[in-house]
Each structure stands twice: as C-alpha cells, then as structure tokens.
Structure 1
Amino acid sequence: MTDNTPTLESVLTCPRCGYVKQEIMPIDACQFYYECGHCGTLLRPLPGDCCVYCSFGSVKCPPVQGQSNCCG
C-alpha cells in the first residue's frame, strides 16, 4: 500500500549556528524566510531552491515531495 500523503514536519538547521528546530511546513504556501530562534539569522532559500525547507530542512516541502512545481 502506497501513501501519497506528504510529510509535514521538517527539522530546520541554521547554517550559521547549527541550531535545530522541528517545524510544521505549510501545505499551500512556500516559506521564503525563517528567523533562527537561537542566533536571529534570517534564512532564505539557496539558489535553485523554492523555500527554506528545501534548503535547510530535513524534509523537502510538500509540493516538491509530490514532484510538482513549487511556488511557481
């Protein structure tokens, strides 16, 4: 049995200080900015990525998981 339900939890890791935090991803929007709760760094997607979860998360965003166009 195959479950096509996207994973909505992702662990974001700050590239500056290494702080990690589990977050719930929005299913219907991209998150372009995320402020680190430890050092205050404002994370933005890396070139070629659509959102902070695709760049810094343990799981890609729901549209990318579903192999569809994300935010585009």
Structure 2
Amino acid sequence: MNSLVTEVLSRNTLMCPECGSKQQAEMLDSGHSYAYQCDSCSEIIEKKQDSCCVYCSYGEVKCPTQQVLWN
C-alpha cells in the first residue's frame, strides 16, 4: 500500500517590501501572522489584503495552512 508523505515547512525567508532585506522566520503552526517587524529597517510590515498572512504575502513559501491545502 502506497501512502502519500507530505512535509510541511516550518521555516520561511521573508523579504521586506520596504528595504528588500531577507530574514529567516519560524512560522507558527496556524500560519496566521498578520504582521512582522523587519530586522534591518524596523518597518512593521502587514499582510497584503488578498493574502491570509505575511508568510503568504512576502515569504518564499506559503504558510503551513496553505501548504496543507495546496497538497
């Protein structure tokens, strides 16, 4: 019997839309973080209106919730 194995990524690289710096972030299991503060420029970055969270807005990978839904 074959089983589907999926791996949900818990680390993400966020890119600040203000200064362009990239930083590593540990995503919450729920994935729903609505804002983060950039380590480089200290700007508070909020999620885009059409995204569920900042990880989906500015991350290299989607949040854990969206990763599960996508699979």
Q: Which residue of 2 aligns with 1:60?
A: 62
Q: Which residue of 2 aligns with 1:15?
A: 17
Q: Which residue of 2 aligns with 1:46?
A: 48
Extract unaligned runs of 5+ from structure 1: none
TM-score, structure 2 length as denominator?
Answer: 0.86
Distance in 1 (alpha carbons) for counterparts of 2:52 and 2:41: 23
Please give the root-mean-square deviation of Cα atoms over the aligned residues, in Å.
1.6
- Taking only the aligned residue pairs, the percentage that are identical comes to 32
Extract unaligned runs of 5+ from structure 2: none
Query: Which of structure 1's runs of 4+ aligned residues deviate more than 6 A?
Result: none
Tell me the number of residue pairs that the alignment of Structure 1 and Structure 2 aligns: 68
Distance in 1 (alpha carbons) for counterparts of 2:4 and 2:12: 21
Distance in 2 (alpha carbons) for counterparts of 1:55 and 1:7: 16
Distance in 1 (alpha carbons) for counterparts of 2:4 and 2:13: 24
Q: Is 1:36 paired with 2:38?
A: yes
TM-score, structure 1 length as denominator?
Answer: 0.85
User: Which residue identity is paired with 1:58?
Assistant: E
